[in-house]
Chain A
Amino acid sequence: MDKSPEEIPFHNRDQQNVLVMLEEAQYEAGCVSEARIAEVAESLDVSQSEVYGVATFYSFLSVKPLGRNVIRVCKSLPCYLKNSRMIIESIAAELGIKPGETTPDMKFSFELTNCIGGCDKAPAMLINSDVHGDLTPEKIAQILKSYD
């Protein structure tokens, strides 16, 4: 069995664009659809399995459609200590959905995430790419309203 590096094309450098293109799709369409995965695979000469494998590895990529705005509340220790649970509860109450769900009108998806590096203003969350810190349950309704 010849396993020399020349034999197996180990580095298809175009492959670096797999993640870049999936990220673009996520920011544009709010998800990485199967059609998009097939496109990426085709254009970069990478198998669909591999592209799907990348898409399901990273927590900010989603193969299921997400809402127009994605809320990611930090649940890691520093935010947990600052009562992130109350924030999670008040968002759930405000939107009527549980973490992991999307509102029926597709306006918000609600997710929990690991440390977002906002521990100095804990509890913190990301909505899309915006950081909201020093959260209190009272602030939630106002913040969500600004994403109308």
Chain B
Amino acid sequence: MPERRVILKNCGVIDPRRMETFLNNDGFKALTKALNEMTPDSVIETIKASGLRGRGGAGFPCGLKWELARKAPGDEKFVICNADEGEVGTFKDRYILENDPFSLIEGIAIAAYALGARQAYIYLRAEYHYLLELLTKAIAQTKEGGFLEHVDIQIREGAGAYVCGEESALMDSIEGKRGEVRYRPPFPPTQGLWEKPTVINNVETMMNIPQIVLNGADWFNQIGTDRSKGTKVFSVAGDVDRPGVYELEMGSQLKELVVDLAQAKKVKMLQIGGATGKIIPHTMMDTPLSFETILGAGAITVLDESRNIVDAVYHTMEFLAEESCGKCAPCREGTEALFGIMEKFNRGEGTERDIRHLEDLANAMMPSSLCGLGQAAPIPVVDSLQHFRSEYEDRIKQKQGGAAK
């Protein structure tokens, strides 16, 4: 399947600094339709019927999330757009923010209407501080255009913490605190920001909203697979000739994206979904990309035959150990321990026992950690041991063989 631009349709077409160019491309038609022709409940019904699932990685049904928050008791509700794109190898949200901030604002405004939220936040990562001005101006223009009378949208900036992409840590960060995760339940739709009902959606998820409202749930439903509707935006980087952002129908094959579009050659392995994502060998490139199979947040890092897997996993574990928030014991101590062992392998000092320890740590951390970071942190280790165990064993043999080898 070739590229299909649904939510990126305005990117490169409109001028992100001028709202009129957006208006000329059906801009704010969906919002106007929602406000004038639909009740909040019918907006939620439409999103539910569309089958849209969250694009941040977990794939929770979006309409259901909204419904839970709408039905939660309380007058004060919040909408948060998660623009803390911190996953290693992903830059699609940056591309969206750079090129089409208005569609994002439109999506947020529709969400706020559906929920009855008068306050919305965009949580922008510190690394994207250079986008603050563009976004602020886009919000100001939208407000001047009279499209934001029902909701106030504010931008909150992160300050350099990967874990703040995790929704509960993100809310703590907006509250001005350390971005530490919270236990669940309660979940954000019932008790989120300041313990008020809150919907948190990723940038890409929000971008789908105007399209669904405008074109209808049935239209959206026809795109994609059984349980993964719509398109997905991918960031492809690493050993490819054409790194970049690509939008494909859900269910497209990995090789269409990586080989046909991004022009990867002699692929050895792919890391799908960033630092906590799956590691798969090139032999699995005919896997379709969907929630049923493999997806993550859409970050794909390609490694070619010249690369060493242990080295790549070592770097990934360094990242995770640095970014653990430190609140819960298995993640705080476990990521450090995993990194320590990978460091040993990288120095050529790993042993058979270390492989067992990696597995023991993984088995305990994955079910017991407080949030997705600690739960998913061992995945690179587990997957690489599954598909590339020989590379670990080679390092051990090299050590035993000494310098002669």
Contacts and interface: CB of A to CB of B under 8 A. Distances in A.
B89 A119 contact: yes
B157 A23 contact: yes
Interface in B62-113: 85-91, 93-94
A15 B275 CA distance: 32
A60 B159 contact: yes
Nearest to B159: A58
Nearest to A60: B160
Contact of A22 (B89, B159, B235): B159
Interface stretch (B51-59, B124-132, B220-228): B124-132
A119 B236 CA distance: 8
SS class, residues of chain B in contact with chain A: mixed
A97 interface: no
B89 A115 contact: yes
Across the A-B interface, give the 5 residue pairs with the lowest CB-CB distance, nearest first: A60-B160, A58-B159, A119-B237, A59-B160, A18-B176
Contacts of A13: 175, 194
B301 A117 contact: no
Contacts of A23: 126, 157, 159
Contacts, number: 130
Contacts of B89: 76-78, 115, 119
B94 A117 contact: yes
Nearest to B128: A117
Contacts of A116: 127
Contacts of A53: 178
Contacts of A115: 86-90, 127, 162, 274, 319
Could you say which interface size class chain A belongs to? Answer: 35 or more
B310 to A, nearest CB: 13
B195 interface: yes
B134 to A, nearest CB: 12
A26 B129 CA distance: 13
Given A57-B178, A77-B89, A117-B85, A126 B127 contact: yes
Contacts of B194: 11, 13
Interface of B: 85-91, 93-94, 125-130, 156-162, 173-179, 194-195, 235, 237-239, 243-245, 271, 274-275, 301, 303, 307, 312, 315-316, 319, 322-323, 325
A122 B127 CA distance: 15
A54 B177 contact: yes
A15 B193 CA distance: 13
Contact of B90 (A119, A121, A131): A119
B176 A78 contact: no
A96 B173 CA distance: 36
28 contacts: A11-B175, A11-B195, A13-B175, A16-B174, A16-B175, A18-B176, A19-B173, A23-B157, A26-B159, A57-B179, A57-B325, A58-B126, A58-B159, A59-B159, A60-B159, A76-B88, A76-B89, A76-B275, A76-B319, A78-B237, A81-B307, A114-B162, A117-B86, A117-B93, A117-B94, A118-B91, A119-B243, A120-B237
Interface in A98-129: 113-122, 126, 129
A129 B129 contact: yes
A17 interface: yes
A130 interface: yes
A133 B372 CA distance: 30
Interface in A44-100: 50, 53-54, 57-61, 75-78, 80-81
A62 B244 CA distance: 32
Contacts of A61: 159-160
B36 to A, nearest CB: 34
B155 to A, nearest CB: 11
A83 to B, nearest CB: 12
A15 B127 contact: no
Given A23-B157, A23-B159, A60-B126, A77 B88 contact: yes
Most chain B CB inside 10 Å of its own CB: which residue of A11, A19, A22: A19
Nearest to B312: A77
Nearest to A56: B178
A76 B175 CA distance: 29
Contacts of A57: 161, 178-179, 325
B237 A114 contact: no
B181 to A, nearest CB: 12
Contact of A130 (B87, B94, B130, B274): B130
Contacts of B159: 19, 22-23, 26, 58-61
A10 B271 CA distance: 41
A20 interface: yes
A120 B176 contact: no
A60 B86 CA distance: 14
A80 B160 contact: no
Most chain B CB inside 10 Å of its own CB: which residue of A16, A80, A118, A119: A119
B238 A78 contact: yes
Nearest to B94: A117
Contact of B316 (A50, A59, A77, A122): A77
